[in-house]
Chain A
Amino acid sequence: MTNSQSLPARTGVLVVGAGEAGVRVAASLRELGYDQPILLLGDEPHGPYQRPPLSKAFLNGTGDPTALALRNPEYFAEAGIDLRTGRTITHVEVGDSGAGTACCDDGDTVAFDHLVLATGARARALPVDGADLIGVCTLRSLCDAEVLRERLGSAEQVVVLGAGYIGLEAAAVTSARGLATTVVERETRLLSRVGAAPLSDFLLARHREWGVGFRLGAEVRAIVGDDGDQVRGVRLADGQVLAADLVVVGVGAVPQTALAEKLGLRVRRGIAVDGAGRTSHPGVFAAGDCTVVAHPHLPEELIGVESVQNANDQARAVAAGIVGVAPPAPPVPWFWSDQRDLKLQIAGISGGHDEYVVRGHPGARDVSVLYYRAETLIASESVNRPKDFLAVKRALGRGATIPPQAAADPDVPLKDLIVDRM
């Protein structure tokens, strides 16, 4: 893993992006017996690392970044994977077969037989004045997390913009550290993009118990600073200014599609791929957060599935496609979030549901929401109910369902209710 070495003149597979998806493409290729050179190229200074802990344990801890490594450095050498970090591909050309050449920012060029785009996503910037003030942080990369963690040491008043997973995980950490924390959200409830109202209400109640304040249905007008460009607060549309010496922006991610666009690939927010990770060019593959796929329930819609599971499963499918073996079985999408003593586990994609069932005793410290479309189970979200999560994941994996009426009783194990679809 050196940055000074020039790139090889040719490689079998060029993987652009050394995150979860890129590493898995390379690893799976080797597991499938691919014996040509693999060049895995990342633009971040670090070796491949786990992203999920950045907004959770890493942010709250003192752990050193090496604990986040996805693989030991020796792994890449032993597997014959040529890993280069801190390198950016600026230009790429491909022929009809998918073979082509790529140029690096330092002028090196490399010829490849196959190209895989695993370029990930970047944090969405908030398009308001003051978004570049000192003390306004995003949380996507290890560099982001290191900056934010450093700032937490001296911050007193934190404003989190966005009540999605990243925002809520950040608020869970900052409030646990005793920092005054307020979450500002444009929608009128938490996790509005992914969850049903009972889940939003449940999480809102827990966060309020932790002392987190909320401004829901609130629009940010500007982030305001002092003469030294230090952040001092967040101005809302109603004119109110929330004082802040640290602002965490968690308003989503934008797929990195620049190379795909240069190649003329079909890009609809993300790079459009099929179930095998093929782009609109049959010889070019893509995997992970840079992609969008057909929505599992909504015809004509595309969806970006930003998760470790999706990155890995798409990567496995891409590797199978390159080697020319049958793709793995379609996976069940799943996702998790940690917020203090709450563990959220999500199975399936709930978008497109027409009914949901809540499992949980009123006032209990755990809850599950099961989502249905045309009376068939499509997804669930569980908080501290791991058996519900695993049962739904298993049912979805088998193409089975769980009758909604029976599922509503929180004391009946879901795994005993799994039945074939009608």
Chain B
Amino acid sequence: MPKIVFNCPDGSQRIVETRVGSSIMDAGTRSGIPGIVAECGGALACATCHVYVAEQFRDAVGEVGDFEDEMLDDAAAERTEASRLSCQIPMTDALDGVEVTVAPAQ
């Protein structure tokens, strides 16, 4: 199963394995990663699973969707070119080892 590296707001690093098809947000909430609030459970309704994707994985995670784009503009933490809503990134084998930093505010 592919792995995700979470850099958490408390400074800790957690590595979570998840099955292909499950989103980065899903993997984070199910393992209780601090800072992945994800109140809507991945319905793209709350912008509380904001992460910054490490540069080497930016292409692999794909493009920001239109609705996601609008939500990210007004997310609680600053938006950068690394910003994604982690519910919108389904895991693939190609994403094995993907590193994300959880936004400091959700």
Contact = CB atoms under 8 A, between A and B. Distances in A.
Interface of A: 27, 31, 50, 52-53, 56, 67, 69-72, 74-75, 79, 308-309, 312, 334, 336, 338, 343, 345, 384, 386-387, 390-391, 394, 415
Given A309-B39, A336-B45, A336-B46, A387 B30 contact: no
Contacts of A67: 22, 26
Interface in B1-56: 22, 26, 29-32, 34, 39-41, 43-47
B78 interface: no
Chain B interface helix/strand/loop/mixed: loop
A53 B30 contact: no
Interface string B43-80: 11111000000000000000000010011011100000
Given A27-B32, A75-B31, 18 more contacts: A52-B43, A71-B30, A72-B30, A75-B32, A308-B39, A308-B40, A308-B41, A312-B39, A336-B43, A338-B43, A343-B43, A343-B44, A386-B67, A387-B70, A387-B73, A387-B74, A390-B47, A390-B74
Contacts, number: 59
A112 B67 CA distance: 47
21 contacts: A27-B32, A31-B34, A50-B41, A52-B40, A52-B41, A52-B43, A53-B41, A53-B43, A67-B26, A75-B30, A75-B31, A309-B39, A334-B39, A336-B45, A343-B43, A386-B47, A386-B67, A386-B70, A390-B74, A390-B75, A394-B74
B45 A345 contact: yes
Contacts of A71: 29-32
Contacts of A308: 39-41
A53 B43 CA distance: 8
Contact of B74 (A27, A309, A415): A415
The 10 closest A-B pairs by CB, nearest first: A336-B45, A390-B74, A50-B41, A72-B30, A386-B70, A386-B71, A71-B30, A75-B32, A309-B39, A387-B70
Contacts of A309: 39
Chain A interface helix/strand/loop/mixed: helix
A50 B45 CA distance: 15
A390 B46 CA distance: 8
A328 B2 CA distance: 36
Contacts of B30: 69-72, 75
Contacts of B32: 27, 71, 75, 79
Nearest to B75: A390
Contact of B31 (A72, A345, A387): A72
Contacts of B29: 70-71
A56 B44 CA distance: 13
